[in-house]
């Protein structure tokens, strides 16, 4: 069964294409950096065993860039709200109907805000440097968790504005992030010891060495810190000239953040003793205090907290668009399809993901990272590897303003990398991710039965973005 592309009701609120290249790159980089490296550098060093941890960021960047080139082609060709939801809907409709996009939304409503909750957990750790009693040796205290909830509510309130205003606000937050990171790097290199930074553990790179033993767990940390390079793809319906803006924002943000992370890691290793790095809860503040004193450390720590707020802000901005697009297709709850009548934003998506972020912020950082990354890999990353291959075969006439460089090499690298990341997760995280997807399959069966769609009815195949070369119009493929 074929259906035409979904018409928009006359006079209905619509997303606005207001985000340009600079703002798009700022959104990605703000979401990528945030609090991530400031709280995970100690974990990376402890996991891999020593200064050789710096190479964990390079391996993570290679995987992020390979996967980013998948996002770049899909985002440029299918610039709709919701990112992966659109890609899986278009690629898998031929065999499994709405199953894959449903499972993605089912999972994304959980893993996107969980990843954002790590930003809240991390920024509260840095507030502990400024406010006594916010943190303890075992993690954030009750006071810290209350503060985290309050900050999340403020971020949710800040999202209730037009996308043009949000783009400008994100650019400001991006500048704050750059100042915080670059200040920490400069402070670290002002008291830098090359002998200390490159004092690798003996035999670390040999067969069975500490680097290889810890790389799997370290790669989970690294890829968590790089996540966010795809935020503009979630906002595809709000990008100006998405065919150029989305690919450039993805590639530029990955390369830029890779450079910052690598310099930050080397600088920290060269300015603080390795044992202090492994056990630090606010490692950047320690570096800054040693180099410039406590006053400067407190000022930059405030900027780090603001950068973390910007990261959560950008993540919830993009993530809230996922259930919106699915609900418009009648694949998710109808409430998520409604836009704010004046601000033109998906109200239910913002509120729901904000609430889940609050809940996630009450747990420990490593628990949330493992659970979120495992769920993301199995239903998003691996599925998109298949989607780019399927779409090249099924929709050869799909306009592709950007085609993946050296295809299929980056796709194969991404596939191998994501499989390695998944099997390196904790057994609990793997079990939870598979269990969540199994429950999603049951939920889909109930939904499909009620909607009389596959496997309880015909498939609805709509190539919403394809163009017939002869007529220059959308051309749905008959089933």
Longest CA–CA separation in the chain, Å: 69
Only one residue has tokens 């502990």, namely 128
Note the pLDDT of residue 473: 39
Helix (H, G, I), strand (E, B) or coil at 220: helix
Contact 30, 174 (CB under 8 A): yes
pTM of the model: 0.85
CA-CA-CA-CA torsion sign (353, 359, 360, 362)? positive
Q: Can you list the residues of the chain whose pLDDT is less than 50?
A: 1-10, 468-479
Helices within 333-408 (DSSP H only): 347-360, 365-376, 382-394
Contact 422, 380 (CB under 8 A): no
Contact 239, 232 (CB under 8 A): yes
Query: In the structure encoding, which two tokens stand for residue 331, read together?
Result: 């694949």
Classify residue 192 by burial, with Cβ atoms within 10 Å: 0-12, 13-18, 19+. Answer: middle
DSSP letter for each residue of 232-285: HHHBGGGBSSHHHHHHHHHHHHHHHHHHHHHHHHHHHHHHS-HHHHHH-SSHHH
3-state secondary structure 406-448: CCCHHHHHHHHHHHHHHHCCCHHHHHHHHHHHHHHHHHHHHHH
Note the pLDDT of residue 12: 55
Q: How far apart are CA 91 and CA 86, in angstroms?
A: 9
Could you tell me the end-to-end alpha-carbon distance of the chain, in angstroms, rounded to an integer?
A: 5
Query: In the structure encoding, which two tokens stand for residue 249, read together?
Result: 């924002």
Give the model confidence (pLDDT) of 94-141 as tens digits.
999 999 999 999 998 988 899 899 889 989 989 988 988 888 767 788
Q: Tell me the CA distances in angstroms from 74 to 118, 399, 419, 453, 463, one per residue in order.
A: 28, 10, 21, 26, 14
CB atoms within 10 A of CB 469: 9
Domains of the chain, first to last: 21-451 (1.20.1740.10)
Q: How far apart are CA 449 and CA 124, in angstroms?
A: 45
Q: How far apart are CA 236 and CA 246, in angstroms?
A: 8
Note the pLDDT of residue 332: 86
Contact 267, 286 (CB under 8 A): no
Q: How far apart are CA 189 and CA 197, in angstroms?
A: 11
Q: How far apart are CA 390 and CA 475, in angstroms?
A: 17
Residue 107 C-beta-side C-alpha neighbours within 13 Å: 29
Q: How far apart are CA 62 and CA 68, in angstroms?
A: 10
Note the pLDDT of residue 364: 84
Q: How far apart are CA 468 and CA 258, in angstroms?
A: 40
CA angle 24–29–31, rounded 5-degree value:
95
Q: How far apart are CA 85 and CA 52, in angstroms?
A: 38
Note the pLDDT of residue 467: 64
């Amino acid at each position: 069964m074929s259906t035409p592309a979904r018409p928009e009701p006359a006079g209905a609120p619509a997303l606005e294409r207001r985000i340009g290249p600079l703002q798009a790159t700022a959104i990605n980089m703000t979401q990528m950096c945030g609090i991530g490296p400031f709280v995970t550098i100690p974990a990376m060093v402890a996991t891999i065993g020593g200064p050789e941890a710096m190479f964990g960021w390079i391996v993570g960047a290679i995987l992020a860039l390979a996967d980013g080139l998948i996002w770049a082609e899909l985002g440029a060709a299918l610039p709709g709200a919701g990112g992966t939801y659109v890609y899986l809907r278009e690629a898998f409709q031929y065999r499994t109907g709405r199953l894959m996009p449903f499972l993605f939304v089912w999972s994304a409503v959980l893993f996107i805000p969980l990843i954002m909750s790590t930003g809240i957990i991390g920024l509260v750790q840095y507030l502990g440097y400024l406010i006594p009693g916010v943190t303890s040796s075992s993690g954030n205290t009750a006071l810290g968790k209350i503060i985290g909830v309050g900050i999340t509510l403020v971020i949710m309130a800040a999202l209730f504005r037009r996308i043009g205003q949000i783009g400008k606000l994100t650019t400001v937050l991006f500048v704050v992030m750059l100042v915080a990171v670059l200040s920490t790097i400069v402070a670290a290199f002002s008291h830098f010891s090359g002998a200390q930074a490159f004092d690798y553990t003996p035999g670390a790179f040999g067969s069975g060495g500490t680097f290889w033993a810890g790389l799997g767990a370290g790669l989970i940390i690294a890829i968590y810190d790089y996540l966010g390079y795809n935020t503009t793809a979630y906002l595809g319906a709000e990008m100006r000239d998405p065919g150029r803006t989305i690919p450039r924002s993805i590639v530029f943000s990955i390369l830029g953040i890779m450079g910052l992370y690598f310099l930050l890691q080397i600088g920290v290793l060269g300015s603080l003793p390795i044992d202090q790095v492994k056990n630090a809860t606010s490692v950047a503040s320690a570096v800054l205090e040693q180099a410039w004193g406590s006053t400067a450390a407190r000022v930059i720590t405030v900027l780090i907290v603001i950068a973390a707020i910007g990261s959560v802000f950008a993540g919830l901005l993009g993530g809230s668009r996922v259930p919106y697009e699915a609900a418009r297709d009648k694949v998710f709850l109808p409430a998520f399809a409604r836009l704010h009548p004046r601000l033109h934003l998906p109200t239910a998506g913002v509120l729901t993901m904000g609430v889940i972020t609050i809940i996630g912020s009450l747990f420990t950082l490593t628990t949330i990272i493992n659970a979120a990354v495992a769920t993301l890999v199995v239903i998003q990353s691996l599925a998109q590897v298949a989607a780019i291959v399927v779409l090249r075969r099924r929709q050869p006439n799909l306009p592709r303003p950007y085609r993946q460089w050296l295809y299929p090499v980056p796709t194969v690298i991404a596939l191998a990398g994501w499989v390695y990341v998944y099997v390196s997760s904790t057994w609990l995280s793997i079990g939870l991710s598979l269990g969540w997807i199994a429950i999603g399959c049951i939920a889909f069966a109930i939904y499909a039965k009620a909607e009389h769609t596959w496997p309880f009815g015909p498939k609805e195949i709509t190539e919403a973005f394809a163009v017939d070369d002869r007529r220059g119009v959308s051309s749905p493929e008959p089933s």
